[in-house]
Amino acid sequence: MNPILNTAFKAARKAGQMMIRAGGNLDAVKVDSKAFNDFVSNVDRESEMILVDALKEAYPHHKITCEESGSHGKANAEYEWIIDPLDGTTNFLHGHPQYAISMALLHKGVLQEALVYAPERNDLYMASRGKGALLNDRRIRVSGRIELNRCLIGTGFPVVDQSMMDKYLEILKDFLSKTAGGRREGAAALDLCAVAAGRLDGFFEFNLKPWDIAAGALIVKEAGGIVTDMQGNEGWLESGNVVAGNPKVLAQMLQIIAAHQ
């Protein structure tokens, strides 16, 4: 583990331990609604504070962009962290263990380092640009499946911004008729990591935020996969519309999506 990821993991582990303690008494967790179906808790905020404080101390010249508190540091900094302190808040609030801490580091706008930590499972996904992807110190690769009818595809429902719901349901119906099945588990960072580890053959979702996908996307790429927007281009971090998978599967996924554009 390189020094940057080691610093990130120490902070993520501390935040994860706090989450597990809080999860033991969910009735005491304070919850606010940012928008319809978009929740934030005091656990999200405390996790973010732990992560931001650790990164500020270690890297005072880095910019930090977070889901809850926005940006910290110089706007034009060469290095920028993109953090989701609790991806899968709704899962966490219901005692469902599919949630994680997501941390990505960009240098001049290019993803360099990524960490996704799932506290309840003690699963640590990491990647460094050009050096491959790891799950708990073991190298991972995307699946080798090429027949779409044998593939398991992950997705996320557009429950916050439902403006694309009709189009999404048409696309989902098409996927379900042409694949081995679909899964919706409620934490995009972990869905992308599942693609990287070969547990899912592909993943697609609309209207995500940079902190939902930055770390997971680098982990997919370093595991041999491809990440694009819905048109097969590079604008996924800006648009929030993302498709990921191994090269053969991703090409077939894009064809299905294109039929509904």
pLDDT at residue number 221? 98
pLDDT digits (tens, 9 = 90+) for 46-94: 999 999 999 999 999 999 999 777 788 888 899 999 999 999 999 999 9
Distances (CA, A) of 10 to 17, 58, 75, 115, 135: 11, 11, 26, 11, 16
27 annotated to bind ligand: no
pLDDT at residue number 37? 45
Q: What are the residue ranges in the chain where pLDDT is below 50?
A: 37
pLDDT at residue number 35? 52
Nearest-angstrom CA–CA distance, 52 and 103: 11
Question: Which of 22, 25, 13, 11 minimizes the C-alpha distance to 44?
Answer: 22
44 annotated to bind ligand: no
Q: Where are the domains of the chain?
A: 3-139, 148-259
32 annotated to bind ligand: no
Q: Give the pair of three-digit tokens for residue 53.
A: 């404080």
Which amino acid belongs to residue 234?
E
DSSP state letter for 150: G
Q: Give the pair of three-digit tokens for residue 195.
A: 């693609």
Beta strand 31-35 with 133-135 is: unpaired
CATH 3.30.70.120 fits 3-139, yes or no: no
CATH entry, 148-259, from 3.40.50.20, 2.60.40.1190, 3.40.190.80, 3.40.50.620: 3.40.190.80
